[in-house]
Structure 1
Amino acid sequence: MITIGQLAKYVGVSTKTIRVYHDKGLLPEPDRDASGYRRYGANDAIDLIKIRTLAEAGVPLARIRGLRSATDTEFQQALGEIDDELTARIRGLQATQGRLRQLAAGRLTPLPAEVGAHLERLARWGFTPRWVDLQRDLWVLVFATHPDHAFILFHDQAETTADPALRQLYLDYDHAYDLGPDDPRIDDLARRIADATRERYGRDVLPALDTGSDIPSLIQGTVNASSPAWQRLDTLIRAHLGV
């Protein structure tokens, strides 16, 4: 027979934890000896090891308490379920660890390969690193939150930038970043973009651009926040299009 302190040291938990298990009804509290000390035996140690193992596996204490009255078959079935749950958690943690290591190495780019290729083309076409980085951040956000709609929007943008004339509008948009919001070149660029948008999608622009999602406004809001000139451009383009 051993004391609560010896039991705690043997199993690898604190005496406070053992008392909590007593209070929660997980581990029966033994009688005290003539000196007033609780004395624990081998069965108590085995029970405590079981409780500790299940608790470390993430099993709630209430569920552990319920397993005390389970039959051998029920207990083995529960252990199998817990093992499956733990395996899934381990896989999730390993995936998180992989992303963390990618982040530490500066290689966190959770984007489809075709988006990565598109970003590389933007750089070759003369877009500024600021624009390419902004596009990457936006597509990471969009694909993470709305993957289905994201592909619709991405393919539309990829087709647009593949057209030399339309690509030049994007380039002009990119290079307007540092212009003052009242610069007359912004008014001219807004008109040209509105004309090209109307030509691409027809006069009823809004339905043509509607994907049933809030992604377009999310993207445009992020772009607008980057530059007063870009915000002014967006306002003028909307005015020209009547949206």
Structure 2
Amino acid sequence: MRIGELAALLGVSTRTVRHYHQQGVLPEPPRRANGYRHYGMRDAVALARVRRLVQLGLSLDEARDVVADDRSRELTEVLAEIDADLARQEREIRERRAKLAEVLRRAEAGSLGPDDTASPDLLAFLRVVSLPESKAAAWDRELLVLMDSVAAEPGRRRAFVQLESLAADPEVTAIGHEFYRRLDELADAEPGDPRVAPLARSLADYSMEHLLADSGLGAHGWDPALLDPFLDGLAPAQAEAVRQAIGIIATGVAKDAGTSATAG
């Protein structure tokens, strides 16, 4: 098959495949006598592996090493590993749906707040913060409502006090608007766009330094899986940036919690 067929098979664009070639992540087959490059099943499996590794938060350099190792393994062994990963994903999706079912139950029961949408703390925060006219900002607002609905006291109240303090700082507000602008710029980009990883790292670093440090969200309080179903509201490259940022944050929070436990 040709590059367009390979891209369609994995649900990506030919631009993404070529980007992976340029980065040395995905081996590029030589041109045949007819001038075209032809891809086989192993190429399709390699592309699927790259896509999955990127979703898990690995950098392209790290994904490159995994795919390079795969080339020395039997295809059946690689396929069996992918099958096991799909089984894990299936279990995770069932768990997420169970959590979302609980959120839906609370929404139907009117227990999410006085307006059946958000708690008084969230309503107060949204009155203070100034969100720009941005699709990324609108998605972020919806995400705040979701996280508010499942957060536990007293961590939720402490987090909102911190958020209100940050929102009142013009410099912090400007930084937040810049993040929204950078996310909006990815609306028409592919997940492999070179702007994705730097934005993810910036979002994660800023969040861990300014938003999560004193929020009371420990390793067990930060649940990246809960957010994943809601990334569908973003464009592919935007979702990829947020997904990578969440992975970095989750790893950093868990690492900090482990260090604290050891120190104690």
Quick check: TM above 0.5?
A: no
* Normalised TM-score (structure 2): 0.37
Q: Report the TM-score when normalising by structure 1.
A: 0.39
- The one of the two structures with greater contact order (alpha-carbon pairs below 8 A, sep at least 6) is 2
Structure exhibiting the larger radius of gyration computed from Cα positions? 1
